[in-house]
Amino acid sequence: MTDRTTKETFLAAYGERERRGAVDGPAWLREVRRAAIDRFAERGLPTTRDEDWKYTSLAPLVATPLDLAADAAREMPSEEDLARFSMGPASWSRLVFVDGRYVAKLSTIRPLPPGGRLGSLAEALITDEPTVRAHLAAAESPAAESGDAFGALNAAFWADGAFLHVPPGVRLEEPIQLLFVATAPGGRADHPRSLIMLEPESRVVLVESYVALADEAYLTNVSTEIALGPGAVLDHHRVVLEGRQGFHVGRTRVRQGPDSQFASCAVTLGGRLVRNDVDVRLDAEGAACVLNGLFVVGGVQHVDTHTVVDHAQPRTMSRQLYKGVLDGRARGVFNGRVVVRPGANGTDAHQTNKNLILSDGVEVDSKPQLEIFADDVKCSHGAADGQLAEDAIFYLESRGLDEVTARSLLTHGFANEVLGRIRVEPVRVWCEERLRGRLRGGRVPEEAA
Amino acid sequence: MDMLSIRKLHAGVAGKEILRGIDLEVRAGEVHAVMGPNGSGKSTLAQVLAGHPGFVVTGGEVLYEGRNLLEMPPEERARAGLFLAFQYPVEIPGVPNAEFLKAAVNAVREHRGLEELDAMEFLALLKEKMKLVDMDPAFMSRPVNEGFSGGEKKRNEILQMAVLEPRLAILDETDSGLDIDALRTVADGINRLRRPDNAIVLVTHYQRLLEYVTPDRVHVLSGGCIVKSGDRTLAHELEARGYEWLEASAEALPR
């Protein structure tokens, strides 16, 4: 199969929906969707000739026959399945999305204070249409400019996702988990879309997790829009644990108001090919973001992370720590772009990317991109790729640990530098347990069929 | 029987011989000090005994409790009761000190046919030993040696020694860079290990530590050979006269 047929599959599916009158949403949204599919028709899927996809070939996706008319959820996930993927106690709100659709009967929503909303975005289209419309319209223009093909596909096809609107001054005690489960893929493509809005001085802990109960090939193509009002604080976690054959393309777009804080930890442990885009715009003075990320891959897994932090206003701060552990023939890509706009004086930006290489067959491409157009700024970056230090192995052996145990301890230690920064204990513990399951004797084995 | 018996040991790094025929006998219950100027091979001797893979043994033999030490991988040496306190302890990011120590103590216990310590038992042991070396419990949840000061790293080595209870401890310049309080703590830790069935080898540049830990024998290493051995008074003599008068005799030794 070729790129053209994958592109045509999507175009044909969209055309079919239009003919059946099955395009979701009110008229203005159908227009947005039409504009998006037109953009996609113009661009097609990116290739390695596109700078943003230089090191990530979509050949495995293109070679996968997609069945966009495939039914969702042959079978709903069981409570046991959901328990495995739930990170917190029952007191947390947990929204479950199965193959891209919100499932109320599997979800628990704790009441929010008056004015607050938490639920499905499809439902919010009806209950909160003006708010949703304002944000989706605003979100579409940058995507149009950047010519992001997957963003366009998401805009055209999204069926559902989460909608969270936190009123001013509200600090939610309990975290919220958005659990997206792929169950019956068989070539399906789902495009979850979520809208997270924090009004001034509000505070939330949020977990987005993308998991699979299926072994077949499928595509999850996510867009999450986050808007933080003045002084708002979002503690954000994004966990990707897609299936062995799962493709995941996700973008998180964050717009930050004055003195707002966005702290994010992205953990990728599963999926055949995973692309994470994070795009943070520090749009007002005093806005700060901390982006941490870890991926652990083996076999032929491929994880590509692109971050853009846009220091658009003075006195903004960003910190990035991205780490990868790679074994087998896995590939990792990190592209960290930091932009300091003219006049954004007092910017303080730091970025670190480190990769631990456990096998000769691994390939890593790491590229920092600092674009500084202001004076009086502190910007730095560091990158290191390497193997475990022989001195450290010997130190542990000299205390009685055998080589395998020593390597395992050091590899866990490397990864824990990121996981240890997760402040929400149940999330940290859950991720550490998953990491232990993925690392065997300090190696990352190919996932069994 | 000798606990440690080194005969005509030659070792170095690729293409460069550093130890040029070391002979040393250490009996159970004894404390030996190995002294010498910088570059004499003291640290190489310590590292070779612990099994550092960066050094190549080109001749001679080392028996530890009658076993061929050089054939044992480093972790087996540790499990058999040999301990090296590193001159430059290695930082291990992301691995909490307590987790590392628990893994080490249980590896050694398993080898000795003892049951693994559970979390409670281990914490009790750790608490007791930390008091001995006067270490803040906060260090246990911090990554191994990461961000520790020089003195804290050395205390951490002594703590590991106290927890692992080796039969033969080799301390590689554990006294260097310590203030007087830390030096006393380190000396206390060493003296506590001093028992009729244990032995200690102190590798040091200065006589300072030997004011707190009295050695049974003192050896001077120069140019990769032991050029002089004596009792504790030799250390005083070195303090007074320096090493130069001995380096001349090293030059005269047959190669």
Distance, in Å, from the CA atom of A255 to the CA atom of A310, rounded to the nearest integer, reads: 10
Cβ atoms of A192 and A109 closer than 8 Å:
no
Phi-psi region of B235 (alpha: psi -120 to 50; beta: other; left: phi over 0): alpha
- SS3 label, residue A190: strand
Is the CA virtual torsion A417, A423, A425, A431 positive or negative? negative
Distance, in Å, from the CA atom of A55 to the CA atom of A244, rounded to the nearest integer, reads: 21
Distance, in Å, from the CA atom of B207 to the CA atom of B204, rounded to the nearest integer, reads: 7
| Average confidence (pLDDT) over A331-346 | 96
* Residue A434, domain member (yes or no): no
How big is the CA angle at B37 (ends B31 and B43), to the nearest 5 degrees? 60
- What pLDDT, on the 0 to 100 scale, is given for residue A144? 59
| Average confidence (pLDDT) over B149-173 | 94
Q: Which residues of B touch A409 (CB under 8 A)?
A: 92, 95, 99-100, 103
For testing contact with chain B, the best of A296, A354, A397 (most B CBs within 10 A):
A397
Phi, psi of A202, rounded to the nearest 5 degrees: -95, 170
Average pLDDT of chain A to the nearest whole number: 93
Size of interface A-B (CB pairs under 8 A): 81
Q: Which residues of B touch A390 (CB under 8 A)?
A: 53-54
From B134's Cα to the closest Cα of chain A, the distance in A is 21
A441 touches chain B (CB under 8 A): no
Is the Cβ pair B103, A391 closer than 8 Å?
Answer: no
Closest chain A residue to B141 measured between Cα atoms? A420
Is the pLDDT reported for residue A152 higher than 50? yes
Which residue in the set A389, A391, A397 is minimally distant from B75, CB to CB? A397
Is the Cβ pair A396, B100 closer than 8 Å?
Answer: yes
* Residue A420, domain member (yes or no): no
Share of chain B above pLDDT 70, in %: 96
* Residue A416, domain member (yes or no): no
Cα–chain-centroid distance for residue B129? 18
Pick the CATH number of B2-198+240-252 from 3.90.320.10, 3.40.50.300, 2.60.120.370, 3.10.290.10: 3.40.50.300
Is the Cβ pair A398, B54 closer than 8 Å?
Answer: no
- What pLDDT, on the 0 to 100 scale, is given for residue B254? 53
Residue at A58: amino acid letter: L
| Average confidence (pLDDT) over B196-209 | 92
Distance, in Å, from the CA atom of B209 to the CA atom of B202, rounded to the nearest integer, reads: 9
- What pLDDT, on the 0 to 100 scale, is given for residue A1? 43
Q: Judging by beta carbons within 10 Å of its beta carbon (0-12, 13-18, 19+), is residue A425 exposed, middle or buried?
A: exposed
Is the pLDDT reported for residue B250 higher than 70? no
From B5's Cα to the closest Cα of chain A, the distance in A is 20
Give the count of domains, chain A: 1
Which residue in the set A389, A402, A410 is minimally distant from B75, CB to CB? A402
Which residue in the set A394, A401, A415 is minimally distant from B52, CB to CB? A394
Average pLDDT of chain B to the nearest whole number: 91
- What pLDDT, on the 0 to 100 scale, is given for residue A49? 93
Is the Cβ pair A395, B50 closer than 8 Å?
Answer: no
From A415's Cα to the closest Cα of chain B, the distance in A is 7
Is the pLDDT reported for residue A72 higher than 80? no
Which residue in the set A389, A394, A409 is minimally distant from B95, CB to CB? A409
Residues 369-398 of A with CB under 8 A from B: 389-392, 394-398
Q: Which residues of A touch B92 (CB under 8 A)?
A: 392, 395-396, 409-410, 413
State the pLDDT confidence band at B38, using cuts at 50, 70 and 90: confident
The structure tokens listed for A166 are 């936190």
- Give the model confidence (pLDDT) of A298-325 as tens digits: 999 999 999 999 999 999 999 999 999 9
- What pLDDT, on the 0 to 100 scale, is given for residue B109? 93
- What pLDDT, on the 0 to 100 scale, is given for residue A447? 80
A400 touches chain B (CB under 8 A): yes
Distance, in Å, from the CA atom of A235 to the CA atom of B34, rounded to the nearest integer, reads: 56
| Chain B contacts to A (CB-CB under 8 A) | 50-54, 73-75, 77-79, 83-84, 86, 89-95, 99-100, 103-104, 107-108, 111, 143, 160, 164
Cα–chain-centroid distance for residue A75? 26
From B238's Cα to the closest Cα of chain A, the distance in A is 31
- What pLDDT, on the 0 to 100 scale, is given for residue A427? 97
For testing contact with chain A, the best of B79, B95, B97, B105 (most A CBs within 10 A):
B95
Q: How many CA atoms lie within 13 A of A352 on its CB side?
A: 10
For testing contact with chain B, the best of A399, A404, A419, A431 (most B CBs within 10 A):
A399
A73 touches chain B (CB under 8 A): no
Is the pLDDT reported for residue B60 higher than 70? yes
A340 is in which domain, residue-wise?
Answer: 3-389
- Give the model confidence (pLDDT) of B122-138 as tens digits: 999 999 999 888 888 88
- Give the model confidence (pLDDT) of A228-280 as tens digits: 999 999 999 999 999 999 999 999 999 999 999 999 999 999 999 999 999 99
Is the Cβ pair A399, B164 closer than 8 Å?
Answer: yes
From B211's Cα to the closest Cα of chain A, the distance in A is 28
* Residue A447, domain member (yes or no): no
Alpha helices in A297-439 (DSSP H): 390-397, 403-419, 425-438
Residues 411-430 of A with CB under 8 A from B: 412-417, 420
* Residue A113, domain member (yes or no): yes
A70 touches chain B (CB under 8 A): no
Q: Which residues of A touch B52 (CB under 8 A)?
A: 394
Domain boundaries, chain B: 2-198+240-252
From B144's Cα to the closest Cα of chain A, the distance in A is 10
- What pLDDT, on the 0 to 100 scale, is given for residue A356? 97
* Residue A303, domain member (yes or no): yes
The structure tokens listed for A49 are 């000739």
From B225's Cα to the closest Cα of chain A, the distance in A is 25
Is the pLDDT reported for residue A440 higher than 80? yes
Distance, in Å, from the CA atom of B54 to the CA atom of A316, rounded to the nearest integer, reads: 47
Q: Which residues of A touch B103 (CB under 8 A)?
A: 401, 405, 409
Is the Cβ pair A412, B54 closer than 8 Å?
Answer: no
Closest chain A residue to B93 measured between Cα atoms? A413
Alpha helices in B174-252 (DSSP H): 180-193, 233-241, 244-252
Is the Cβ pair B77, A398 closer than 8 Å?
Answer: yes
From B189's Cα to the closest Cα of chain A, the distance in A is 18
From A351's Cα to the closest Cα of chain B, the distance in A is 18
Is the pLDDT reported for residue B189 higher than 50? yes
| ipTM reported for the complex surpasses 0.90 | yes
Is the Cβ pair B107, A401 closer than 8 Å?
Answer: yes
| Average confidence (pLDDT) over A411-431 | 95
Cβ atoms of A170 and A197 closer than 8 Å:
no
Residue at B27: amino acid letter: R
From B246's Cα to the closest Cα of chain A, the distance in A is 33
- Give the model confidence (pLDDT) of B78-101 as tens digits: 999 999 999 999 999 999 999 999
The structure tokens listed for B28 are 């159970």
Q: Which residues of B touch A294 (CB under 8 A)?
A: none
- What pLDDT, on the 0 to 100 scale, is given for residue A56? 96
Q: Which residues of A touch B99 (CB under 8 A)?
A: 409
User: Between these two residues, B251 and A360, which has the higher pLDDT value?
Assistant: A360
Paired residues of A313 in beta bridges: none
Is the pLDDT reported for residue A358 higher than 70? yes
- What pLDDT, on the 0 to 100 scale, is given for residue B14? 83
Distance, in Å, from the CA atom of A12 to the CA atom of A90, rounded to the nearest integer, reads: 43
Which residue in the set B86, B94, B103 is minimally distant from A401, CB to CB? B103
- What pLDDT, on the 0 to 100 scale, is given for residue A143? 57
Is the Cβ pair B74, A409 closer than 8 Å?
Answer: no
* Residue A110, domain member (yes or no): yes
